[in-house]
Chain A
Amino acid sequence: MPSIPALDLDPDAEGDIDLSSLLEEVGILGLCRGGSEFSDLPSILSAVSRLSEYCAGIGAYASYRLAADLFLKLAGMDCPAGTPALCIFDDEEFDLSSRWIPFKAVLSENGLTGRKKSVVLGGYGGPYAVLARDGNHSVLCLVEDDGDTVSVEGAGLLGARVLRVADVAFSRAQPSSVRPVSRDQVLALFSVLSLLTGACACATAAKSLDIAREYARERYQGGGLIEGHDAIKLMIEGNRAALAAACAALLGSSEPFAPGNAESMAACFRAKAAASAAAVNAGLDAIQVLGGYGYMRDYGVEKRFRDAATLSVLPLDGTRLLLIGNTLTD
């Protein structure tokens, strides 16, 4: 992936890199077009993993776009202006486990009003695909950024900063398209996002262990190279074992993945919970192997840890996903 730099952007800075074009060049965004379906998830998973070995932020960026494309397809919505930013969370705890309808943004005859939190803009901004309530129904609204009824307030991220998270407020915004959405469709979106972000987190963490291994082969300490120390061996191999198990669980959940099938979706949540823990621990230990150098930006492992930790809670953290999954299969 020589033409794509590993990005760690200032969230407030205007991006001067057209990620969309770069990703188009390598063909990844085409995966969801041309009739790709949920059955293609294993190959999508593999593609974002490869991207994330290079930069997890870019892998996650592609993941959000791919998941948004699949979700829109599932909801039967067409978005000619390009992939929209998904607006899911409101200014209140998101609770898919015990009740439906969970959304607070309201669609009425005056338009769409509400504040969406932690929106992944992904550098492409509007249009926005907003999950809202319309009376007693949940709906998906497609809103163009007209600069008047939509306001965006950026929030910096720990890692995977290319995602560019923001709060997006809608005030009587007029949707160009509205579709009803079911709980299963939203859960399917979370399932796909969980698999993809889990894969990104594991891939970057695995790469950080590779860097740690390389460093251990060169770093002398305690009378020999540190690769010979049991502490180092166990940190590397223990984390590799956990990551391998998590990756197998992610892949197993993606093939076959059946949107709407409770067990299939719960399996995705379990896999993501395992992947999150494995990736974060691996990232922490990779830094530990490098010691002081690991804590500095030069070697890139601190960025990989930050990326993995961020992706461990996107779209949701392991605990919340497990609670949702448990309710599903109850």
Chain B
Amino acid sequence: MTAPSQTFGYGRYLDRNGRTERLLRKAREFRSRFIDPVAHELDREMLFDPHYNAHDILVRGCEYGLMSMPVPSFLGGGDASILDCAVVLEELCAGCAGIANLFGAHYLGLSCVLLGLSFNQFDTVIREMVEKEKRGEPVVFAAAVTEPMAGTDVEDEDFLRTARLMTFAEKVSGGYLLNGSKVFISNGSIAKYTVVSCAAERSRPVQTWSSFLVAAGTKGFSADKVELKMGMRACHAAVLAFEDCFVPDSCEMGIAGSSTYLTEVVLAASRAPVAAIATGIARGAYERTLDYCRNRRCGSGRLLDRQWVQLALADMFAMLQTARDTYLHAGYLFDTGVMEPLMGNRRLSDPVLELFAPLRRTAPALKVTASRAFRKSVSDFVRLKIDDGMKDRSLAFSSMAKFSCSDLAVRVCLKALEILGPAGAEERNFVEKSLRDVKLAQIYEGTNQLNRHVLYKKHIKGGIRD
């Protein structure tokens, strides 16, 4: 197999203190030890048993710190930036996108907690996840947004106003009652904690859009149905059902109505990694195609010696490098434009947050951080620290990365299929898996059509002078 470092460059985006490279080395080792050897077998296994749980791989992920990678160091995590996560996910996806998506979907759930600065969850569930990871017990997160009749609509504030919602949170004494269902939820059936976003009032979905942390096993919450998917089979897509599911006030994240803002921040963060997922799948197809061409005899030479093959490989390489540059730029923009202002001076804030961690974990302190007043002040703080223009720009560029990288990735995989010819459609050559996997990257995290709309709305439109 061609070494990725010899194949593509990461350019100026690599972290100067070497953190990204360290994480990348880990990811490569993890891929070669635990993903490449089982990817094909696991994909086949889950074709016939979609409920099969790839728990062992998550346990291995704990050894490599993959579960807590994006968690800040003051909470005991790996302190990875969005750009770091994207680079790692690209590497894992080159091995198997289904397995990589176990971690990717987990990061999405985590990011809802982390980016909303939900302090009461920092000191409870995030801490639990970090501690258990050290013992090799994966605590998986998921995010649930899509509804049966509203997919794209719930990812955009304007569309949300007219969305046909089916899931609602009704305010009751001491908390909320959730009713309805969420669909296509990655990790939904294996997550211990799921961040569920829904409206409280049908007539005012934007103003009442809220997020709740729901633990597996909560009465009235089930995630029994797992979908039969075309690709990324190793990662379950589940249907979540809520029937009078009581969620206490302390599990509300932010305050009612703040969640559309938080959703935009989370999407600005998550779409660059999704773009990296697409890039990684395509890179896996490229690497295997290159290997095939190198080993495939063609007359007195190799398939690689044919001019049309060389040109096709050059096309694939160019598309991959373009895709990588695009998602790296989007990740960099989020890290520097949104994350850094939000977190402030880490040299000062981290020691303080660490120092007060034991105090925060006391029952009275947890009661304070879970209170509505505290959550409102944190929500206001987040809005104050993040510049709206920068948030919109970051969202626009991450959306651009998402649709352009996934479109390029599909083209790369189709090119791979073409180069291998009839052999490309055979399972043993892996390219067909890449093609099945990569299609999802054009759909989830907002369809590519929605992402184009976001780029226009959040960036292009503002630059047009009538």
Q: Which chain A residues border B237 with CB–CB below 8 Å? A: 292, 296
How long is the Cα–Cα vector from A197 to B296 in the complex, in angstroms?
Answer: 25
Q: Which residue of A has the minimal Cβ distance to B44?
A: A156
Q: Which chain B residues border A309 with CB–CB below 8 Å? A: 417, 425, 432, 435
Q: Known contacts A159-B425, A221-B159, A316-B422: does B443 contact A295 (CB below 8 Å)?
A: yes
Could you mark each residue 290-312 of chain B with 1 if its beta carbon is under 8 Å from any beta carbon of chain A, else 0?
A: 00000011110001000010001
Q: Which chain B residues border A93 with CB–CB below 8 Å? A: 296-299, 303
Q: Known contacts A92-B298, A222-B162: does B426 contact A292 (CB below 8 Å)?
A: no
Q: Known contacts A292-B444, A295-B230: does B299 contact A99 (CB below 8 Å)?
A: yes
Q: Which chain B residues border A220 with CB–CB below 8 Å? A: 149, 164
Chain A interface: which of B10-18, B133-141, B150-158, B393-401?
A: B150-158
Determine whether the beta carbon of A323 is less than 8 Å from that of B426: no
How long is the Cα–Cα vector from A98 to B300 in the complex, in angstroms?
Answer: 13
Determine whether the beta carbon of A313 is less than 8 Å from that of B308: no
Q: Known contacts A158-B435, A288-B448, A292-B444: does B152 contact A221 (CB below 8 Å)?
A: yes
A278 at the interface (CB under 8 A from B): no
How long is the Cα–Cα vector from A319 to B310 in the complex, in angstroms?
Answer: 13
Determine whether the beta carbon of A306 is less than 8 Å from that of B436: yes
Which of B48, B299, B303, B420 has the largest number of chain A CB atoms within 10 A?
B299
B421 at the interface (CB under 8 A from A): yes
Q: Which chain A residues border B263 with CB–CB below 8 Å? A: none
B347 at the interface (CB under 8 A from A): no
Determine whether the beta carbon of B425 is less than 8 Å from that of A158: yes
Determine whether the beta carbon of A295 is less than 8 Å from that of B439: yes
Determine whether the beta carbon of B421 is less than 8 Å from that of A294: no
B184 at the interface (CB under 8 A from A): yes
| A164 smallest CB distance to B (angstroms) | 12
How long is the Cα–Cα vector from A156 to B436 in the complex, in angstroms?
Answer: 14
Determine whether the beta carbon of B151 is less than 8 Å from that of A291: yes
Q: Which residue of B has the minimal Cβ distance to A156?
A: B427
Q: Which chain B residues border A165 with CB–CB below 8 Å? A: 422, 425-426
How long is the Cα–Cα vector from A315 to B424 in the complex, in angstroms?
Answer: 12
Q: Which chain B residues border A320 with CB–CB below 8 Å? A: 421
Determine whether the beta carbon of A296 is less than 8 Å from that of B227: yes
Q: Which chain B residues border A298 with CB–CB below 8 Å? A: 228
B218 at the interface (CB under 8 A from A): no
How long is the Cα–Cα vector from A229 to B163 in the complex, in angstroms?
Answer: 15
Q: Which residue of B has the minimal Cβ distance to A90?
A: B297
B447 at the interface (CB under 8 A from A): yes
Determine whether the beta carbon of B146 is less than 8 Å from that of A296: no
Determine whether the beta carbon of A221 is less than 8 Å from that of B422: no
A157 at the interface (CB under 8 A from B): yes
Q: Which chain A residues border B82 with CB–CB below 8 Å? A: none
B54 at the interface (CB under 8 A from A): no
| B342 smallest CB distance to A (angstroms) | 31
Q: Which residue of A has the minimal Cβ distance to B227?
A: A296
Determine whether the beta carbon of B425 is less than 8 Å from that of A10: no
Determine whether the beta carbon of B230 is less than 8 Å from that of A297: yes
Please report which residues of chain B, range 291-343, place their CB below 8 angstroms from some CB of chain A when the two chains form the complex. Answer: 296-299, 303, 308, 312
A280 at the interface (CB under 8 A from B): yes
A37 at the interface (CB under 8 A from B): no
Q: Which chain A residues border B159 with CB–CB below 8 Å? A: 221-223
Could you mark each residue 229-251 of chain A with 1 if its beta carbon is under 8 Å from any beta carbon of chain B, else 0?
A: 10100000000000000000000
| B426 smallest CB distance to A (angstroms) | 5
Q: Which chain A residues border B299 with CB–CB below 8 Å? A: 93, 95, 98-99
Determine whether the beta carbon of A284 is less than 8 Å from that of B230: no
Please report which residues of chain B, range 139-184, place their CB below 8 angstroms from some CB of chain A when the two chains form the complex. Answer: 146, 149-153, 159, 162-164, 183-184
Q: Known contacts A284-B439, A313-B417: does B151 contact A297 (CB below 8 Å)?
A: no
Q: Known contacts A222-B152, A288-B447: does B425 contact A310 (CB below 8 Å)?
A: yes
A123 at the interface (CB under 8 A from B): no
Q: Which chain B residues border A95 with CB–CB below 8 Å? A: 298-299
A317 at the interface (CB under 8 A from B): yes
Q: How many residues of A contact B (CB 8 A)?
A: 49
Could you mark each residue 130-170 of chain A with 1 if its beta carbon is under 8 Å from any beta carbon of chain B, else 0?
A: 00000000000000000000000001111100000100000
Determine whether the beta carbon of B417 is less than 8 Å from that of A323: no
How long is the Cα–Cα vector from A216 to B303 in the complex, in angstroms?
Answer: 44
Q: Which chain A residues border B230 with CB–CB below 8 Å? A: 287, 295-297, 302, 305-306
Could you mark each residue 220-244 of chain B with 1 if its beta carbon is under 8 Å from any beta carbon of chain A, else 0?
A: 0000000111110000010000000
Determine whether the beta carbon of B417 is less than 8 Å from that of A312: yes
How long is the Cα–Cα vector from A155 to B296 in the complex, in angstroms?
Answer: 18
Q: Which residue of B has the minimal Cβ distance to A117?
A: B423
| A113 smallest CB distance to B (angstroms) | 18
B465 at the interface (CB under 8 A from A): no
Determine whether the beta carbon of B183 is less than 8 Å from that of A292: yes
How long is the Cα–Cα vector from A314 to B146 in the complex, in angstroms?
Answer: 38
A128 at the interface (CB under 8 A from B): no
Q: Which chain A residues border B426 with CB–CB below 8 Å? A: 118, 155-158, 165
| B202 smallest CB distance to A (angstroms) | 15
Please report which residues of chain A, range 44-101, place their CB below 8 angstroms from some CB of chain B when the two chains form the complex. Answer: 89, 91-95, 98-99
Q: Which chain B residues border A302 with CB–CB below 8 Å? A: 230
Q: Which chain B residues border A157 with CB–CB below 8 Å? A: 425-427, 432
A318 at the interface (CB under 8 A from B): yes
| A181 smallest CB distance to B (angstroms) | 20
Determine whether the beta carbon of B443 is less than 8 Å from that of A287: yes
How long is the Cα–Cα vector from A118 to B426 in the complex, in angstroms?
Answer: 8
How long is the Cα–Cα vector from A157 to B417 in the complex, in angstroms?
Answer: 12
Which of A89, A313, A315 has the largest number of chain B CB atoms within 10 A?
A313
Determine whether the beta carbon of A221 is less than 8 Å from that of B229: no
How long is the Cα–Cα vector from A150 to B128 in the complex, in angstroms?
Answer: 59
Determine whether the beta carbon of A155 is less than 8 Å from that of B427: yes
Please report which residues of chain A, range 272-315, place their CB below 8 angstroms from some CB of chain B when the two chains form the complex. Answer: 280, 284, 287-288, 291-292, 294-298, 302, 305-306, 309-310, 312-315
Question: With contacts A155-B427, A315-B422 known, what are 9 further pairs, Cβ within 8 A?
Answer: A155-B426, A220-B149, A223-B162, A229-B449, A284-B439, A288-B448, A296-B227, A296-B229, A309-B435
**Interface of B toward A, CB cutoff 8 Å:** 44, 47-48, 146, 149-153, 159, 162-164, 183-184, 227-231, 237, 296-299, 303, 308, 312, 410, 414, 417-428, 432, 435-436, 439-440, 442-444, 447-449
**Interface of A toward B, CB cutoff 8 Å:** 10, 89, 91-95, 98-99, 117-118, 155-159, 165, 220-223, 229, 231, 280, 284, 287-288, 291-292, 294-298, 302, 305-306, 309-310, 312-320, 323
Query: What are 21 A-B interface contacts by the 8 Å CB criterion?
Result: A93-B299, A98-B299, A156-B427, A158-B432, A165-B422, A220-B164, A221-B150, A221-B153, A222-B159, A284-B410, A284-B439, A295-B231, A295-B440, A296-B237, A309-B417, A310-B425, A312-B417, A315-B422, A317-B417, A317-B418, A323-B308
Nearest first, the 8 closest Cβ-Cβ pairs linking A and B are A93-B298, A156-B427, A158-B432, A302-B230, A223-B162, A297-B228, A292-B184, A310-B425
